[in-house]
Structure 1
Amino acid sequence: MALGTVMALVFVSTGYEYVRRIAEEREIDRLVSENDMLRLQVETRLRSVLNDLQVIREYPPILGLARSVSSGGVDPEDGSTTEAWRQRLGVIFRAMLDARPSYTQIRYVGVAERGRELVRVERTSAGSVHVTQEDRLQSKSQRDYFRVGVGLPAGAMAFSQVTPNIEFGEVVADDPPTIRAVTPIRGADGEVFGVLVINADFVKLVAGISQFERRKYVTHFIDPASNRIRTDTDGSIEFHWASEGSDELRGWVSRITSGGVPANQFSGEYQGRTYLTHASELQLDGVYNAAGFHLVSVADEATLFADVLVLQQRMIAIALAVVLFGGLVGALFGRRLVVPLNALAESMEKYGSSESLNLPTRDRTEIGGVARRFEALTRRLREIESAERAVRVQLESVVNGAVDGLITIDTEGSVLSFNPACERLFGVAAGDVLGRNVSMLMPETVAAHHDGYVADHMRTGRERMIGMRRQLQARRRDGTEFPIELSVSRIELPDRIIFSGIVRDVSERVTALALLEDTIDQLEHTNVALSEANERLDQANGDVRSLAYIISHDLKAPLINLLSFSGELRELMDELQSLTGNDTPEARDRAQQIMGETVPLVLGFVEESAARMDIKLNLILQLSKLGRYEFRPEPVDLASVFEGAVADAAAPEDRASVTVEVDPTPFNVDRQAVTIIAANLVSNALKYRSDDRPLSVIITGTREDGRMHLCVEDHGRGIAPDDLTDVFNLFRRVGRQDTKGDGIGLSYCSMLVKRLNGRIWCESVLGRGSRFHVVLPETAVAERSEAA
């Protein structure tokens, strides 16, 4: 009897603990797998909201409205009005709401006017979608999501906490709990112009996920503020604000969001029941405030291990029966009981290593009943294993079917997984990459430092790339490099840490950006060329206006003289005609006086006026040729040029009074132009000498920052202040007119200097002398005027 009692107790304790341990391990694995699958689906649903936000942000009306508002109501690029851009955005927002039943509003909120809405499209409680009238648009500068959006960097996106919908400062009771995705819109000046916002029904957004329909576990989706969606085993979905529920429940949620509830462990009792939980945090790469969204799967221990508990009760009953009747049974049927029990124990020992347990299920005794129960339990465990494999296959199909590349590595940099999208991107089969260092997919300059980056992160926790999106260069199997967009996440498993990366080929985007930059550069060069052409055209037009003024003003005086003298000749001819036939002495004396004195005098005036007109016409012709003259820069010794001008213009006895101190280093300039300038300036300095002082002319030339500064200084007559403004005007001569001149020399110099992109000016004191300054740039080249 003692032996039977001991055997019964051993059977009950070892069998129950062994089966419970196996069942617990299987349930934990299944709980974790289904939680991971559900988390991926929730992450995908939230990313779809961000993708829609990004798509809307790229539509032309977004920036078109910003330009028109900033420019007073009309877009300077295409002429569209602010109202036209609003109507186009209304159509786009409405189409997006029609396609997304979980979206309740899409808004474009400006920064100006305390965050006043520019465009708003919303879904009514009846389900209809309409564009909000302008007088119903609201200011949102005090809302947290607006402040978050304004503070984001360019191109960044963020989610708000779940809050009630507030309109005109009051909570709308019938509206669902709302989560908002926001991104800033920046104007042409780089400053934030507004915020793009998508409002989504928090419950509807995640309610359609297939995994929520499972009845095995209760699931909680918790936001950073501890608001939660609860799906029960019967498929029902409930939303609870953080303030709802008992203190015990709120404390449990708080411990989850703060990391206080360990995953894969019984979290203790709640309302008298013990639960198994697994909490995971959503990984939303590139979203600034994504931290704090948790997904928690909860399983009731009593439900999970109901079969095991039934088995335990039956084993206890059997043990009691064995203890009570052990003596009798041992005496009569000892061998018959020991053999099946040994067989049952051996079969239980083989579970997990053999498909066939060979249990004594046909035994009609209690041992047979236990064997049958144990066989049913093992069959249930195999079903759990099969379901787990199905979940893993489903997860694998999601990963393999992804458009973007997905790669995972360990802390040593060895590749653990490499999906088909990665095979296409890098041109290498997964079998050739798995187990090797991921640096084989990087350019040498990056690969040399990769392992050091990982080791530094594991040692210090410093995050160089984790949790953000970066553009890098990658290398294909054939050695070619291409640009990728990479997002890296750190995943902490129970026994190790791994890193996952999402890879996207952005070659087309980089090429398009490069083409856009080239086009912008070409436009800038074109604008510069057009500006220079406009300047040359303005200069040519100025020259034309000057010539027109000269023709209309300076040639007018000779023409008036010619007309006047022609009229006088006609009157003299009429007078001679009247004297014809009059033979009186007075008539003969008058006729003789007209023909001998008056007519020759008038003809002399006519010839003088015609000669002056001819001179001025020739000078105007000479100036007009300046516009067609093609300048050819060459190295010129300006000291020699001015010395030659002095030798040509100064009498031998005056040359000693002229000093030339010009830098002799060759200066790149047009030789003929600078020779004309030197000749005119030197000639004027010698011509307008003072009658009271000895002749003195000083010519200097110094280089200053790639320019030549020339100065011709004399101690001559000087120029009165009122005449300085006319010094460079055509046909204008100032001061005493006691020397020969035509008033064109300094005007000609001024035009040449302007064509050479230089400056010329005069400083003078009447009675003391003058300084004429000329500054010319090196390699001064003037292009031919289009108006010449």
Structure 2
Amino acid sequence: MQKAHALTRGIFCSMISQITALVTLVVFVCVLSMSIFYVKDLSAISKEIQMQELQAQANGFIPPLRYLFSDLEKDVRFLAKTPPIQGIIRASKNKGIDPLDGSTLEQWKKRLQAIFRSVEEGKSSYVQVRYVGIANNGKELVRINNYGSYIETVPEDKLQEKAGEPYFQEALSLAKGEVFFSPINLNRENGKVQKPYLPVIRSIIPVYDGEEIFGFIIINASYASILKEIIEMQDLSGNVFIINDGGDYIYYDPSIEKIAFEYRTHIERTPYFNMVQSLIQSHNHNEHELKKIVGGKEYFIQHIHFNYDDAHPERFLIIALLRSLDTLNEHVKETQHKANWLIISLLSAAIALSLFCSRFLLKPLIEFIAAIKASKGGEIQNLPTRIKNEIGELAEAYSSMMQRLNEARQAEGEAHSKLQAIVDNTVDGMITIDENGTVQSYNKACEEMFGYSAKEVIGKNIKLLMPMPYQAEHDGYLNNYKNTGKRKIIGIGREVQGLRKGGEIFPLDLSVSEVKLDGRRYFSGIVRDITQRQLTQNELMRSNEELERFAYIASHDLQEPLRMVSSFTKLLDEEYEASLDDTAKEYLRFIMDASARMQMMVADLLSYSRIGYEGPAAERIESKKYIELALENLQEVIKSSKAQIILPEDMPEIHVSPMRFSRLMQNLIGNGIKYQRLEAEPEITIEVLERENEWVFSVADNGIGMKNEYLDQIFIIFKRLNAVSEYQGTGIGLTICKRIVESFGGKIWAESIYGHGATFYFTVPKHELSERLEEKNG
């Protein structure tokens, strides 16, 4: 008997070794084959994906470019229609006095100067706005210069003659209402090129006196500033060149966040000369893929042409995006390295799992034989149960097994009846098919869902319930799965489409599981009609998108009429101040104050909507660096308020959008300085606390604080706790903060002791959580 047990243990060990070796071999072959196939196609796949990304990014430049040039045309048309334009003409022809209302020429010029100023205040890229006459060798009548930090009204003795400029000569042929854009070139003052170089594009419209040209309205826009604004709006992953037809180009490297302008005469000294020239000479205006050598490196280049003046096809911009081949190769090497580690890990796991499974599966076999031998009932006649060897033991075990089998069959019949009742009355549809796609079972919920009875479906192919293209693809999918074992839906929930008996196509939630019975493969599917759920989700998404788009467009389009109200109210106050009584003057001040507040609210609302409408990429940054950037932006406020900012030495790296994080800190620090007690100097303390999965930042001040009942209301848009006369603002700053923090995947809250300051807290998930959030949103 001891020898028998020893023999059994030997066989047991031998079977474990065989199973372990077999499983290890199969896993190794499968993993190695998949790795070779994957690495082989990785380069082509990565290249295709990156070219698609570059093409999408290049196409993303076109809408804002069209909008900015359209805005430039709209502004010059608007200025040409303002009253001072014709007032200056009338006064010039009548010895300096307007016969229509008695205004002098100087009065009309001052009014036009005020309008030009209001336009330049709203458009930082406009460097000059001019009214140039034909007379006196094209002398400027009114000119306003924008130097960024201040706006200058050019005095009469500094006005220049422009008749010799090419754009002036070209504009002489313009018809009434016709607008043209000059070639992009360097700005000239008094006939000489301005230094430092200022590349400009001019929007010009003629001003007619009857049927004769009297002069022109000209807006000089900084070419570099316009393109910088557009570049900063984009989510870029490669270097960018924006080249004009003359050969000048703007270059942007997102890795160092540097935007540089190169004039055509300097290009020969740069490594990009040949590339720029070939792009300008290219006849294909939308090249999808192009290999160039730039500075000794190979790049993918995607470029697209943009014609900004339909009347002059020779005036265009080229947007070219570059991505180094080194980036692709590094990605391939990294993936190969990961694949090697995956093979080693899977092999180790396969060996361990096969050893465990072998022991787990074979041990019950020995215990089962022992349990059958111990059974006392169910003897069957004529079996060699008395033979004292393995056959006798098997016969005795078989007799006991048959008795138990009969009992099991009876229990199985009862269980099957119960299960069938459950299946027939379940809310979800349940369908079972074999490996050929033939329907084996079909419950009542399916009958109501598809309109077919069980008799019409059982025995038919499951394609009966599928619309195209699922119907045509199903057999191929089953054959592919049987041959390769690759799963596309088995074990995974998925939304598909079903076909009712009446021909109606409807959405389904489908989950499929695989079952093997008697050596045959079956597939069981649970289906649920999600028509109503999908309609609700689509309506909700559409409503949210329309709401954000409405807020963005409405707030953007409201700015122009508000600027007009503000400008003409100031003109009314300046021109008719002596004619107005105190009540009228007070009413004018109310209008001007309300216009200013409304402009602030619209600008803040536009910023708020942009946070949801745009999506700047997150990256790993040093938080302290961007907090210090926020402090630089607040330098004047900090200096004037004598505020003290306490910032810790060591601060973490976080995974966020850098510009949004800097703006968040600027808003919170600025609030702490603004809402300050009169008798105290501001003191702002910034701290950061590390938790397991997140960083907790805090900004504490010693200001006026808040009552606890208002702590949940301060993040509501336009909600203010203090009057505008006490503290300036629109009430949207904290709402923007909340939206920025939520875009990071964090949360924000406040704590305060009324009269003794407030502390704002917000969380930023650590790197791994931020990446998962990005993948989820993406």
Shorter chain as normaliser: what TM range? 0.3 to 0.5
TM-score, normalised on structure 1?
A: 0.39
> Which one has the largest radius of gyration?
1
State the TM-score, normalizing by the size of structure 2. 0.39
